[in-house]
Structure 1
Amino acid sequence: MNAPLRVLIACEISGVGRRAFAAQGHDVWSCDILPAEDGSNRHIMCDVRDGILNEGWDFLAVMHPPCTRLCRSGRRWMSGPGIWTPPKQLPAGRTWDDMKAEFEEGISIFNACWNAPIERVAVENPEMNDLAKARMPEDLPPPHIVQPFWFGEPQYKATGWYLRGVPKLVETNRLSEPERGSDEWRAWNKVHRMPPGPERAKLRSRSFPGMLDAAAMQWAGPAEERAAA
């Protein structure tokens, strides 16, 4: 296929991923149940499961699907010892049914995206807990884990990518890590040190421009070069 790719950036409102792929000359749209922060007219407000995945895309990047109940760090809220036993503790004001409903939502969105009829797929999600792994497709590979500082972003945040039809990301601008315990090191850990609050989940899921620029180049490449191939 030697033409600009039709790219869908799902579960993103910042526009970081959309702009990165658009900069390579591709036909790029984003979608989310919330409006785009940058007011772009190339953002579709919808649930990614409502049919948009069947609209002839060449590449799908899913930036921030619900993962709080799927990741290893969130397992303690889902189950106690064993499989689906009552958890010892729940978040304040939440019920076990709430946790299960959010778990099912995360499973549904992830599987819909992974199984989409699209040749190239990259889904951002951390390494999953055992409860989530049991509900994943048999062909799902382990996540490809990268760090923002591999791409010129002075931050620590292990980022997992589940990849189908695209290669693993190669670092482009690896920064030297600061001395552990230093002020700079603490600044690099700001994502993990964010205090609880209504904006915490949103801020922790922000895309890193350097990483997405590398992804757009390595997973799609310049549209002009594709047209000339």
Structure 2
Amino acid sequence: MQTTMFEAFEAHPGRPLKVLIGCEQSGVVRDAFNALGHDAWSCDLLAAETPSNRHIVGDVRDVMNWDSWDLLAVMHPPCTRLCNSGVRWLKEPPKNPPADCTREEAAAWPTLDRAARLEMIWRHLDRGAALFSDVWNVEHIPMVAVENPVMHPHAKARIRNFRPAAQSVQPWHFGTDEAGPDNERKRTCFWLRNLPKLRRTGTLDGTTARESVHKASPGADRWKERSRFFPGIAAAMADQWGGAAQLAVRAA
């Protein structure tokens, strides 16, 4: 059996990593790191789905400046305006208020003409690109991972120091049970700084992978279900990225 990175340093452990998981409400990734002995905290504008004393309600850009974090993983910064699948709305706005509207913007949407709606959509794009830029370019955190879907060119042009994603994965790459939560199709891209690409840990071949994320029913919580992270990938991140970061901290 292949030795994992975590097992490689387990015999001579250093201090636990201080890990910040940004834009995560579910706590899936946070809990995966904590299960391996790290000091991991999640942060989101919304309260944790399940009550936790390791969840901070706030803007990740403020929290990432609080302390000497070893690793920052921003798991799902608002991507509605950045992802390639939504680029069509930059040319022709939808009839209904977009999911990323504030309550005030949604209330005003029916009264706006096409030009005003487009202006709002592009403003949301600028806002989303600014968040991605800020977390990607944070200077005092040595290891950074940012997750997002495939981006369109308008988003790439607005991100400071943009470079292509280091890799893209599917949840089923990290699954071992056809009936389990990881046997899904959802292409996920990672932008990585000082972290290795994830190695696949699953045994599935993708032929039975579901498309629940893409076929999620419309509703108020559709955005939440579509952004929910997968436990298999989270476990691989905690083991492989946590292991690489722990080795780097020990060597420093």
Q: What is the TM-score when the length of structure 1 is the normalising length?
A: 0.85
Q: Distance in 2 between matches of 1:5 and 1:63?
A: 18
Q: Which runs of 4+ in 1 moved over 4 A?
A: 222-229
Segment drifting more, 112-121 vs 43-52 = 43-52
Check whether the contact 1:25–1:224 (CA below 8 A) recurs between aligned residues. no
State the partner residue of 2:160: 137
Cα deviations across residues 101-140 of structure 1 (Å, max 9, x unaligned)?
A: 2212211111111111211101011121110111123353
What amino acid is the match of 2:170?
A: Q
Aligned partner (choices 98, 102, 119) of residue 120 of structure 2: 98
Matches for 1:118-133 after TM superposition, within 5 Å = 118-133=141-156
State the partner residue of 1:64: 76
Q: Give the direction of change, closer, same or farther, for the CA distance of 1:215–1:89 in structure 2 (3 Å limit).
A: same
Aligned partner (choices 170, 177, 188) of residue 199 of structure 2: 170
Check whether the contact 1:48–1:109 (CA below 8 A) recurs between aligned residues. no
Q: Distance in 1 between matches of 2:242 and 2:95?
A: 41
Cα deviations across residues 50-84 of structure 1 (Å, max 9, x unaligned)?
A: 25335210000101100010111111111xxxxxx
Matched, 1:2 2:14: yes
Check whether the contact 1:24–1:223 (CA below 8 A) recurs between aligned residues. no
Q: Distance in 1 between matches of 2:190 and 2:212?
A: 21
Count, aligned residues: 214
Hey, which of these two has a bigger chunk of helix by percent? 2
Q: What is the TM-score when the length of structure 2 is the normalising length?
A: 0.78
Aligned partner (choices 211, 235, 239) of residue 189 of structure 1: 211
Aligned partner (choices 54, 60, 64) of residue 42 of structure 1: 54
Check whether the contact 2:14–2:250 (CA below 8 A) recurs between aligned residues. yes
Helix, strand or coil for the counterpart of 2:243? coil
Unaligned runs of 5+ in 2: 1-12, 98-108, 110-116, 176-181
Matched, 1:215 2:237: yes
Q: Distance in 2 between matches of 1:227 and 1:63?
A: 22
Q: Give the direction of change, closer, same or farther, for the CA distance of 1:131–1:121 in structure 2 (3 Å limit).
A: same
Q: Distance in 2 between matches of 1:131 and 1:226?
A: 35
Check whether the contact 2:195–2:244 (CA below 8 A) recurs between aligned residues. no
State the partner residue of 1:201: 223
Q: Distance in 2 between matches of 1:45 and 1:67?
A: 19
Identity %: 47
Helix, strand or coil for the counterpart of 1:60? strand
